[in-house]
Structure 1
Amino acid sequence: MMKIHGISDRAYWMVTYTYFLAISSLYMVWFTAIGSTIGLDIFLLNSYGIQFVFYLLLYLNLQISLAFLAATGFSEVKIASVVAYIYVFGCGLLGVYLIQYYIEDTTLPRWQLLTMDLMPGFSLYKGLYEFSQCALAGHNTESYGMTWKDLNNTNNGMKDILLIMALECPILICISYDMDKIFHLSNKVFKQWKCFWKKRTQPFTMSNRIQSSAVFFDSENSEVYNERWRVEQLIQDIKKDHPFVCNNLGKRYMGKDGRLKKQALQSLYLAIQSGECFGMLGPSGSGKSTFINMVSVNIFYLFQTFHGTTFSLMLILTLRASMNNALSNELSTYQMKT
């Protein structure tokens, strides 16, 4: 929605990042407060300052950065959700049955533990493990758990975890931003090549030659080209199941009092099948109201670019009245309910 309204990529990323950070921070504060209220030693005995740095400042930012990086490789929400579930459960199971064994193994080289900590899920598990061990030791000795002085202890791996998370956060977010640019550029090139190839393989007609020499369209989205191709095919053989067809519809407001000309609508191709419902979404000034005015009020000016049956023309002429009636009915129903 924000990209549709013309927000730049940096502003879009900043707004999205702030939103997820706020939601995650509220959840983590609530999680810590509930744990402290019910008397869990892992929250009560360990320093709240270290918990704040670990949970809020570092891990939440690392989790959001990792999500941004993973989002560049997925185009469907369902696939991303499945992979995310596998990642969460996999890290949890590996942490319990594998990582914990390596952490407690004193003969394992330190660099191997640091390599495993590069995975955000494993670093989270190791951090929770360090908190739990310090809380258990504090409970047995009736003293405090992990404090800032304990970070310098060679047997405590929390310092390494905090440093790794602090380095991974900016690195992952920068890689995510660059990968998003690369995937967007490659996807755009692929769609342009696909549209060009489809244009070369379609049957050559005089209508195609005239339209291709006079009209320039944005080939970034293949749906735009597919809709135009469908309209051109329907013009040659108008079918009754498509009563509404717009072919290269456009409108330009002439400049008055020294003002420049304004292109309100340009190269619109649209074919609506009988019984089909469609909607328009776009930023302010994209031509939504102009299109509705052209097809509902000034229909007699559009015979060169608009093709439809008598029934569809009568239906379009009553479009605004029907929309107003539906809106008034919804408002009256809402007032009765409230």
Structure 2
Amino acid sequence: MADSSRGSASFWTQADALHRKNLAFQVYQAWWCPVASPTLWHLLLQILEPEYRAVQSEFTPFTDLPVESCRKTGSCPATILLAGQNVTFGQSLGENMIPSSPPLNISDIFYSATSVLGSASKPFPTNLIEPAFVSDQSVYFLHKYCALNSSSFVPLRFGSATFNQEIHCIRGLNLWRNSSTEINDELYKGYRKANAKQKVNEIIAAYDFLNTDATIFNVSIWYNSTYRNDSGNNPISATRVPRSVNLASNAYLQLLFGPGPKILFEFVKDMPRPESRLRLDLSSLLGPMFFTWVVLQLFPVMLTSLVYGREQRLRIMMKMHGLGDGPYWMISYSYFLLLSSLYMIVFVIFGSLIGLRFFTLNDYSLQLVLYFFHINLQILLAFLVSVLFSNVKTASVVGYIIVLGTGLLGTFLFQPFLQDSSFPRGWITAMELFPGFSLYRGLYDLAQYSFTGYYLGTVGMQWKNLSERNNELKEVLIVIVVEWPVVLLLAFYLDQVVSSRRSPTFFMQNIRKKPLSSFRKSSFEGQGSVDIAQMDKPDVHQEVYPGRDGNPEKIAVKGLSLALPRGECFGMLGPNGAGKTSFKKHGREHPPFYGRLKNLKGVVLTQAVEESLKSVNLFYGSIADKQAGKYSGGMKRRLSVAISLIGDPKVVYMDEPSTGLDPASRSNLWKVVKQAKQDRAIILTTHSMEEAEHLCDRLGIFADGDLQCIGNPKELRATYGGSYIFTMTTSATHEVEVENLVREFSRSAIRTYQISGTQKFELSKNEVKIADVFHAVEEAKSRFTVHAWGLADTTLEDVFIKVARGAQAFDVLS
């Protein structure tokens, strides 16, 4: 019973206590000293200390017990209960069990057949000597009549030595009960742990003589085992029980044949035994927790690998090049399985080489089956958990927390439940549904068998042991096998919903892609189709997917869908943040990998890789063998172009391919792109107007997430650039005169630039004749100094700036 005033022990205090208890128990069981000549043990009864001896109480209906006041003086008798079918015969036996006269020679009390000696000593963890003779506990002489607190010193021979032992005389009391049921009830009510509220009221022994008579001796004996230790190896009971039997036997002989015949039962003796070396296998003691950590070490590795692929969008890149979910899962799973299998084989081999009994005593095939089953489940658990993370660092920290926590919880939470026979087995099975606990349970069972095998000099767990009643490894294997397909389906489902962003009910839907012909085409067959919110842009409007079957017109990035004919390069122009790159993503891996994804094999694959690398000048010398991660920014872009063109794709996406390239490399890359577009459609995003005009057949300008306009460069300049740009540089004092000059030949002119005498004006082509501009400038030169002047048609850059600014102004107003 805990002392409530101290409060509950902390978690670590309880854990330390449990650890010490387990360690002490294992050490005690595993080691003993040699005993060549065991000591003789005197026969003693287990006598109760005075405060525990039975007295009258409200819990027992018997009035033949002494009153409670005897506890204050220490004079309470030691009570023996009797029962039997033959009352008279049984009571007579009871009278003969406790002597009524002192022995003839007090020095022979230890060696007299009629002496009833006892002790309240607790058992020692060894049976080399009777603890009553070396402890502070008293040795008692049981008698019917004793003076209060009477005692004597009696010489006791112990081997070759003799010493005086103090003997206290206590009164023995025999009480008759009507049946063994009454005895049972009284013994239980008086037991010190039966009821914490009532006082301890114990009996030293009880006898049911059953049908004993002059021709039959038949007796059942209750003996006091209050101090029986937990190990079951109780040396005290080896002497206490024989003395109880000896009392009844001598009483029966005395009743039948008088005081002459006696059974002289002086001593018991332990068998000689050899020395035992310390059989303490630490691998079995610490194995479940430590080996759980070792086996689970691959879980964070697999988890971070999967999350890294999601964080870097590697899987998305590979899917863009044709990688399906099936090959991805199969290859990833097989890779992790191979890695885990090699890891576990090395784990078992290393443990065996250094001589750990955990490995050498248990059947190797049984161990490998457990590990193989678990690593399969662990791989799927990594797939399942990976969908919850998008950051590698977070996933790594959580993964190692799971590893550490599983080992600690297994040792300090799960293992005590395993050792508690009263804990429901159903809850144990439920806890094993957590893969870490199922692994811990399997390792725990292997550890128990290896420890026992090493202790007994036998083997550990074998296949035949799985049929044993207390062997739970078979249950662990069944749990793992049943759980594996469940986790597989759940992991695949979450992967599709979270990673692939499919509908949660995708498995219930029959999704069929609509053919391209179901959409309304543009003015020519195969032309691009574009969805936008502003329907007032005629060049864009004709590219929009119409609403069908009651569905509204679709809004893409804010929404874009394109259908391009072969042989066309479509340019996407737009300021930073307009939505060009969000419109698509592109992967950067080595060409052979992507070539295989596009079903290229053998010589065809080799030739395609060679041609693609040659086209971007990455084939010659040591450049092709250099790791892509060590390429410069420009080289990485050239490699990306080579990858995008390999395998003769029908559609190629390029995101600012020439950014960061030197003029020579840029010119060469442009040649490659122009040659490549002959047999495929190319969609290209860029900031370079020069690149757009040089490569693209049609252009689309993106701003604020919308496609603002679409057409070839000439059409865009004509539609959005119907003006001239007039530039003149003079001294700052003549800026007003320049402005007045411009107003003479273009009343709607707009000044777009002014700094240090240099001004730019946008002139409407409908108002201005080029000859008038030249004539006006020649007249102005006679009035003030003109340092420089020019008249230029609208450039694509001017169109780009005008459209982008217009979109931003519209967005602000809306």
Q: Please tell me the TM-score bracket, short chain as reference.
A: 0.5 to 0.7
Alpha-carbon distance in structure 2 between the residues aligned to 1:301 and 1:104: 76
How do residues 151-166 of structure 1 correspond to structure 2 at under 5 angstroms?
A: 151-166=466-481
SS of the equivalent of 2:502 reads helix
Runs (5+) with no aligned partner, structure 2: 1-314, 507-530, 546-555, 577-632, 655-668, 675-683, 685-689, 700-712, 714-794, 798-814
Are residues 1:23 and 2:339 paired? yes
Partner residue of 1:173? 488
Partner residue of 1:149? 464
Q: Is the 8 A contact 1:69 1:175 kept in 2?
A: yes
Alpha-carbon distance in structure 1 between the residues aligned to 2:575 and 2:447: 63
CA displacement, residues 101-134 of structure 1 (integer Å, 9 cap, x when unaligned) = 1111111111011011110011111111111111
User: Judging changes above 3 Å, is the alpha-carbon distance between structure 1 residues 298 and 80 closer, same or farther for their aligned structure 2 residues?
Assistant: closer
Q: Is the 8 A contact 1:3 1:12 kept in 2?
A: no
Amino acid at match of 1:179: L
Alpha-carbon distance in structure 2 between the residues aligned to 1:301 and 1:143: 82
Deviation at 1:252, TM superposition (A): 2.2
Q: Is the 8 A contact 1:227 1:271 kept in 2?
A: no
SS of the equivalent of 1:118 reads coil
Are residues 1:293 and 2:669 paired? no
Q: TM-score, normalised by structure 2?
A: 0.29
Q: Is the 8 A contact 2:374 2:480 kept in 1?
A: yes
Q: Is the 8 A contact 1:249 1:268 kept in 2?
A: no
SS of the equivalent of 1:103 reads helix
User: Judging changes above 3 Å, is the alpha-carbon distance between structure 1 residues 32 and 186 closer, same or farther for their aligned structure 2 residues?
Assistant: same
Q: Is the 8 A contact 1:227 1:269 kept in 2?
A: no
How do residues 20-99 of structure 1 correspond to structure 2 at under 5 angstroms?
A: 20-56=336-372, 58-99=373-414
Amino acid at match of 1:60: I
Alpha-carbon distance in structure 1 between the residues aligned to 2:571 and 2:479: 53
User: Judging changes above 3 Å, is the alpha-carbon distance between structure 1 residues 303 and 12 closer, same or farther for their aligned structure 2 residues?
Assistant: closer
Which of 521, 533, 540 pairs up with 1:211? 540
Alpha-carbon distance in structure 2 between the residues aligned to 1:270 and 1:135: 72
Deviation at 1:250, TM superposition (A): 6.1
Q: Is the 8 A contact 2:673 2:695 kept in 1?
A: no
Q: Is the 8 A contact 2:432 2:479 kept in 1?
A: yes
CA displacement, residues 289-317 of structure 1 (integer Å, 9 cap, x when unaligned) = 898614899953638527977xxxxxxxx
User: Judging changes above 3 Å, is the alpha-carbon distance between structure 1 residues 17 and 138 closer, same or farther for their aligned structure 2 residues?
Assistant: same
Name whichever of 117-126 and 82-91 sits farther off: 82-91
Q: Is the 8 A contact 1:227 1:270 kept in 2?
A: no
Partner residue of 1:225? 557
Alpha-carbon distance in structure 1 between the residues aligned to 2:337 and 2:384: 16
Amino acid at match of 1:31: F
Deviation at 1:210, TM superposition (A): 4.0
Bigger radius of gyration among the two: 2
Q: Is the 8 A contact 1:71 1:80 kept in 2?
A: yes
Deviation at 1:270, TM superposition (A): 5.6
Amino acid at match of 1:96: T
SS of the equivalent of 2:566 reads strand
Partner residue of 2:148? none
CA displacement, residues 38-76 of structure 1 (integer Å, 9 cap, x when unaligned) = 1111110000111111002x0010101111121233333
Alpha-carbon distance in structure 2 between the residues aligned to 1:212 and 1:84: 52
Deviation at 1:80, TM superposition (A): 2.5
Partner residue of 1:7? 323
Amino acid at match of 2:696: L
Structure with higher strand content: 2
User: Judging changes above 3 Å, is the alpha-carbon distance between structure 1 residues 226 and 35 closer, same or farther for their aligned structure 2 residues?
Assistant: farther
Q: Is the 8 A contact 1:21 1:60 kept in 2?
A: yes
Alpha-carbon distance in structure 1 between the residues aligned to 2:432 and 2:458: 29
How do residues 122-137 of structure 1 correspond to structure 2 at under 5 angstroms?
A: 122-137=437-452
How do residues 318-333 of structure 1 correspond to structure 2 at under 5 angstroms?
A: none
Are residues 1:252 and 2:566 paired? yes
Q: Is the 8 A contact 1:118 1:164 kept in 2?
A: yes
Q: Is the 8 A contact 1:249 1:269 kept in 2?
A: no
Alpha-carbon distance in structure 1 between the residues aligned to 2:340 and 2:472: 25
User: Judging changes above 3 Å, is the alpha-carbon distance between structure 1 residues 206 and 168 closer, same or farther for their aligned structure 2 residues?
Assistant: same
Amino acid at match of 2:431: M
Amino acid at match of 2:502: L
Alpha-carbon distance in structure 1 between the residues aligned to 2:486 and 2:337: 17
Alpha-carbon distance in structure 2 between the residues aligned to 1:128 and 1:308: 73
Alpha-carbon distance in structure 2 between the residues aligned to 1:226 and 1:82: 37
Amino acid at match of 1:225: V
Deviation at 1:178, TM superposition (A): 2.2
SS of the equivalent of 2:390 reads coil
User: Judging changes above 3 Å, is the alpha-carbon distance between structure 1 residues 270 and 163 closer, same or farther for their aligned structure 2 residues?
Assistant: farther
User: Judging changes above 3 Å, is the alpha-carbon distance between structure 1 residues 26 and 226 closer, same or farther for their aligned structure 2 residues?
Assistant: farther
Alpha-carbon distance in structure 1 between the residues aligned to 2:497 and 2:691: 45
CA displacement, residues 165-211 of structure 1 (integer Å, 9 cap, x when unaligned) = 01111121122112222332149x9xxxxxxxxx98x8x5855x743
Are residues 1:302 and 2:696 paired? yes
| Bigger RCO of structures 1 and 2 (CA < 8 A, at least 6 apart) | 1
Which of 422, 433, 439 pairs up with 1:107? 422
Deviation at 1:85, TM superposition (A): 1.9
Alpha-carbon distance in structure 2 between the residues aligned to 1:6 and 1:303: 27
Amino acid at match of 1:125: Y
Q: Is the 8 A contact 1:250 1:268 kept in 2?
A: no
Alpha-carbon distance in structure 2 between the residues aligned to 1:103 and 1:137: 17
Runs (5+) with no aligned partner, structure 1: 190-198, 217-223, 229-247, 254-263, 310-338
Structure with higher helix content: 1
Deviation at 1:34, TM superposition (A): 0.6
Amino acid at match of 1:118: L
Name whichever of 79-88 and 136-145 sits farther off: 79-88
Which of 494, 499, 502 pairs up with 1:185? 502
